Amino acid sequence: MERTSREMNVMIVEDETIMRLALSTLIDWESNGFRIVYEASNGYQALQYIKENREIDIVITDLKMPVMDGLELIDELNQFIGTSPHVVILSAYDDFEFVRKAFKRGVNDYILKSEMDPNVVLNLLNRIKHDFEVEQTMSRQSREIRNGEQVRLKQQTIREWLEIGVSPQSEPSILEDLNMRLEWNSITVSMIRVEGFAEVQDRYGSSIGEFVSSVVKSIDQVLTEVGTGEVISCNPYEYVVVLSFQTSSLMHVRQRISQIMNQIIFVLKEYINIGVTIGVSELCEEVKQIPAYYLQARKNADLRFVINKHRIIYPEDARHFLKQSGETLIGKEKALLDALKEGKEQSVLQELDKMFTLIKRSASMGNEVLRTRYMELLMILVKFMYDNGFVNNQEMNKIEDVYRMAWQIDSAAHLQARISSLVQQLLQEMDKKAGQMNRVVAVAQAFIMEHYDEDITLRKVSEIVHLSESHFSTLFSKAVGETFKEFVTKVRMEKAMESMKKEPYLKIYEIAERTGYASTEHFSRVFKKVTGVSPNQFMKTVSK
């Protein structure tokens, strides 16, 4: 009969040969999931074997034996570091005092020599096996919970580094504590963008979380194999990889980045069937500069609409493109983007005309440069659409249409008309969605106020209101006047101060846990940044 769990290894310790034989033939050990691996005639002999063979699960031992008796053996086994075998004692009616001493040593199971009924012995062994399997399961679940918490803290820490930089107070040991495959020097940041995301959405539907998990696991597997780097997801179509190197040699670092990123591209295509474009930052020597390099990687990835998709875009590629393409539009788009955010059609069209005028100045440099300028404008518009949640099949098809046309059409006027049409449709979509803003923000605020003590993320709340992270973030900031993260932090700090005033006997770690912070150090750092004083100082003030 096939067994669903592993066999348990049993040792019999008994000085009487006839008793060892009786016990070893009492039941069909192996068909019931047990295996007798060793028989010893005294406690010393058993102990030596166990020291060299720690796979013993159950020890069935007599109490009265020469050289080393059963009680001495139990004492020795109790000294073992880690897991020790489960002990079952063999006893006779006149062994009462020995049995009592064994019980005091933590042994709870025994077999009477005079009543060795096969069913009784088998029931006892099966109960021990069941308890063992339950303990193993609980231990595994406990490890999984600890590992899951570590992963969450790791991702939260990396996001903080990307957004606000590495705090000067950060302990160097944090990399080791969170089991990060990173060093504090020679860091690069890479932005990985999924191409054809509309098709991915169609393929996964409501199971898009499975897609994100598959992408993260695939990238993490590559990083595990090369021994450096961490990955986090920004949203379903954007992922950030942070790498570090033990050398500052640009040539060596570039070779390693190329190897790692090409392997990531291969794995994602081979196993998930997606294509990606990767923007890579310069080599960062100071960790406090990480946010700037993250922004650079993101901007380089944005150039995929101009330089070509499905490739790795390095800083020198971006510089070369901008140098070769005359007067770039990058850096001149603020007025157009501001008008789009306000949703005022007349202002948008005026700023769009200014962009067209700027593009025409490149006409003398040839059609290729002219097309490149139009592609830059398209890139600016597409980035706005991504950042504000206007990415679906319909919009993506329109973008691909205009993208292809930019390299095929001979008439700049025709191309301008298509881009203008795209902007008009974008404005109409914005008007339609503007009415949803107040309802969405109200739902989000109510959820935050009710669940501030939980792990609240932009992704989780975005899913609740059925918007992309970037679009929801923009809506929320515009309506509330502060970012999502700032609002969550403000609510948590208000609740923390309220708890300190009402329950001054609480410990700092208890208040941190009540307000959604797994790390007391992180809570204290945020509290001081918001209030200007440490939690301890605040509690002293309110307790006076």
| DSSP per-residue codes, 116-140 | --HHHHHHHHHHHHHHHHHHHHHHH
Strands 276-280 and 312-313: parallel
DSSP 3-state of 246: coil
Predicted pLDDT of residue 544: 62
Is 437-543 in the same CATH topology as 181-321?
Answer: no
12 near 39, Cβ under 8 Å?
yes
Predicted pLDDT of residue 45: 94
Provide CB contacts within 8 A for 470, sequence distance 6+: 235, 386, 387, 388, 389
Handedness of CA 77, 112, 41, 36 (dihedral sign): negative
| CA angle centred on 205, ends 488 and 440, rounded to 5° | 30
How many C-beta atoms lie closer than 10 Å to residue 291's C-beta? 16
Provide CB contacts within 8 A for 111, sequence distance 6+: 60, 88, 89, 90, 91, 120, 121, 124
Can you read off the two tokens belonging to residue 198? 């509309």
Can you read off the two tokens belonging to residue 287? 């960790």
d(CA 97, CA 106): 15
- Among 93, 90, 96, residue whose Cα is nearest residue 116: 90
| CA angle centred on 459, ends 474 and 456, rounded to 5° | 105
d(CA 218, CA 236): 14
Tell me the CATH architecture of domain 8-137. Answer: 3-Layer(aba) Sandwich (3.40)
d(CA 211, CA 274): 10
d(CA 322, CA 318): 6
Map out the domains of the chain as residue ranges. Answer: 8-137, 181-321, 334-434, 437-543
Can you read off the two tokens belonging to residue 158? 């990396």
| Residue/partner pairs of 152-156 with CB below 8 Å, 24 or more apart | 152/455, 152/518, 153/178, 153/518, 153/519, 154/178, 154/179, 154/180, 154/230, 155/232
Q: Tell me which H or E stretch contains 313.
A: strand 312-313
Whose structure tokens read 């990835």?
301
Strands 187-194 and 238-244: antiparallel
d(CA 384, CA 482): 20
The residues with which 426 forms a beta bridge, in sequence order, are none
DSSP letter for 114, please: G
d(CA 300, CA 294): 10
Superfamily of domain 181-321 in CATH is Reverse transcriptase/Diguanylate cyclase domain (3.30.70.270)
What is the third-level CATH fold of 437-543? Arc Repressor Mutant, subunit A (1.10.10)
CB neighbour class for 261 (10 Å; exposed up to 12, middle 13-18, buried from 19): buried
Give the 3-state secondary structure of 496-539: HHHHHHHCCCCCHHHHHHHCCCCCHHHHHHHHHHHHCCCHHHHH
155 near 220, Cβ under 8 Å?
no
Low-confidence spans in the chain with pLDDT less than 70:
1-5, 81-82, 93-96, 137-150, 167-175, 177, 248, 304-310, 321-327, 363-368, 386-412, 432-438, 543-544
DSSP 3-state of 109: strand
Predicted pLDDT of residue 3: 38
Predicted pLDDT of residue 38: 93
Predicted pLDDT of residue 364: 53
